[in-house]
Structure 1
């Protein structure tokens, strides 16, 4: 699920006009009363701003336990092109590419393909139904749109093994997809905020073609791995320990080094693992898709997106970053957001890194990714996409995504074989 931070229905807050100056005589008798009203209004505004700031901060760090079925399913029928579905036309459903439609609380899953008809004035879009993996789509009335196309590695034509990675608090389930028996470089794949390991399946064929054994991991608070003691996201500052555990697992099972793949917050987690883990010497490369490069920038963007007053947005950041805010956010420890500004720390990145990021990403703006690559061009390669929403670069143009990543991996790892990705659909 590609949501970095959900758009939330914050209540509107009216701006209180600034007090006038140079009052004329007839207005003097109202000054004391006006001052009282002004103080009350200021207090009310402060209370509203504080409440919004607290709510915003909690939403940022609190995992969602369920998904909103916010997409109506209008019709399903057979045509000369196979099964077709009619959905409301919105900024997601009208973009070309291949996606998923989840329904029945996530128990149902269908892969949705090409647009067959879209007339804006009708407000609907007709698309191919490429595959129904589970559930009865004919009976479904609502669901949600997702960039996580496949349900398992076998759905992309690769065999998987279910394994468990020891982490704090227990075992984190993972998929292991083996490449050559003698493969010593593994791809460890890290999904984004609010998603699960299915998000990473889009990269498995590419990693396999590069000769990499893939480990698609779960991590704390994602609904599969054990929850953290505080049940809160660390935005990368805590989750990297689970990536370190995955690296340790890989090294114990035949790997000599790894490539970290990260989507959205998974990119932030991967950068923290590369920066903080004693095992970072085993990380040969990073492949980051729509990564969070600067949390301060992302949170400010979402404050604007949700029409939150700037002071409330800044308060939310302060609550997340300071020990005094723990009682309100539920965090066990404050999160140093400034330490996760990689634009400022650009020269500290020494591991070869490929960043793929859409210019039309409206959840995690691509600007910091481009700026980071510009500041450290010797180490970081930036591949901009267009049209794609957040972490949906592959969905819009899978061939370009796969070719870009495969060529870069082969060059970076010094390999010349596996020139192409073998594409097959289940």
Structure 2
């Protein structure tokens, strides 16, 4: 998201249009992507392996998925079997073709590994429900241990522009510890009500949709809540803890590659694309101040200072476990580590290597699930 946005903005800024560049950057950061383009090429496949063009994603060890046929099909791939850097090809284990036809041509990398709801991906009894959000009916999945809801509910929040399938990897360890899992949607997700401005607020409005999901869990008998969040889902969860009266029911928080400080994320992408610092600062001001709202198309101001939980570390009151890779190319792990260092009484940090953004489970699933089980137990 931001990498693409900054790349286009840098070209504008180099031409002297700093004001226009800042507005463009801010709008791209806050605007949901209209479509998810294919980003890998399948060169060949047989019953046991698949050959792809090498990219920064396709050469990393671990288990991943591939969306086929513009998302209608899906396959799962495993570790690298052979890397031919000279030819720009990588051959990986083919685990399964879940649906569709795997053939040479374009595809889209899927870090979730799972490409369907829990009843299809893991054969888990799944309720497809809706709950009443601020903007209307919001779809959700409910997965209970043995199909019988308990009084302990885990509410799992996916990231910006992601799908609910991102959270499926967390279900087995949480179910094993007796947690009923609720996977909600939030405004601007595909197929759900949009916000009044059709823009993301980077957690500053989306938290109300997650609070509504928590209310649904309470109405179903939940007396204790675990909140989990991936990437921007982490930023949403942190706002819930700060703003929702229901946060008193939250006993623990699990964050995977979370956005702990949106200002740091935007600055990272600006540096990567050589965007002048004043342009990034101006974009932040446009998001926050009333005079900039029309320029960036927001209904509510987006104050990134409210998302800086390193600065706000003293305001945390819940036990938090953070899993974050030092090799995360999209959301730098520095703020996650800094938050853990600022609040060692509440925050436990698990550092990964090799994994790219939100792909810690993919590279070391056994370690990831063991951490979640231990944190969720008791």
TM-score bracket for the superposition, by shorter chain length: over 0.9
Tell me, yes or no, if the aligned pair for 2:9 and 2:24 is still in contact at 8 Å.
no
Measure how far apart 1:146 and its partner are: 1.8
Tell me, yes or no, if the aligned pair for 1:303 and 1:309 is still in contact at 8 Å.
yes
Measure how far apart 1:386 and its partner are: 0.6
Q: In the alignment, what sits opposite 2:241? A: 274
Q: Does 1:300 align with 2:267?
A: yes
Counterparts in 2 of 1:70 and 1:182: CA distance versus 1, 3 Å: closer
1:10 corresponds, among 8, 11, 35, to 8
Measure how far apart 1:72 and its partner are: 1.5
Q: In the alignment, what sits opposite 2:63? A: 98
1:115 corresponds, among 80, 93, 103, to 80
Measure how far apart 1:157 and its partner are: 3.5
Q: In the alignment, what sits opposite 1:169? A: 135
Tell me, yes or no, if the aligned pair for 1:65 and 1:223 is still in contact at 8 Å.
no
Q: Tell me which structure has the larger Cα radius of gyration.
A: 1
2:344 corresponds, among 363, 377, 381, to 377
Superposition RMSD on alpha carbons, in Å? 1.6
TM-score by length of 1: 0.85
Q: Does 1:397 align with 2:361?
A: no
Q: Does 1:87 align with 2:52?
A: yes
Q: In the alignment, what sits opposite 1:226? A: 193
SS state at 1:230 partner: coil
Tell me, yes or no, if the aligned pair for 2:13 and 2:21 is still in contact at 8 Å.
no
* Inter-partner Cα distance in structure 2 for 1:306 and 1:62: 19
More deviation, 99-108/250-259: 99-108
Measure how far apart 1:13 and its partner are: 5.1
Counterparts in 2 of 1:286 and 1:126: CA distance versus 1, 3 Å: same
TM-score by length of 2: 0.95
Measure how far apart 1:168 and its partner are: 2.0
Tell me, yes or no, if the aligned pair for 2:10 and 2:21 is still in contact at 8 Å.
no
SS state at 2:267 partner: helix
Tell me, yes or no, if the aligned pair for 1:184 and 1:256 is still in contact at 8 Å.
yes
Measure how far apart 1:11 and its partner are: 6.2
* Inter-partner Cα distance in structure 2 for 1:255 and 1:13: 51
Q: Does 1:61 align with 2:25?
A: no
More deviation, 194-203/65-74: 65-74
Structure 1 unaligned residues grouped into runs of 5+: 17-43, 416-426
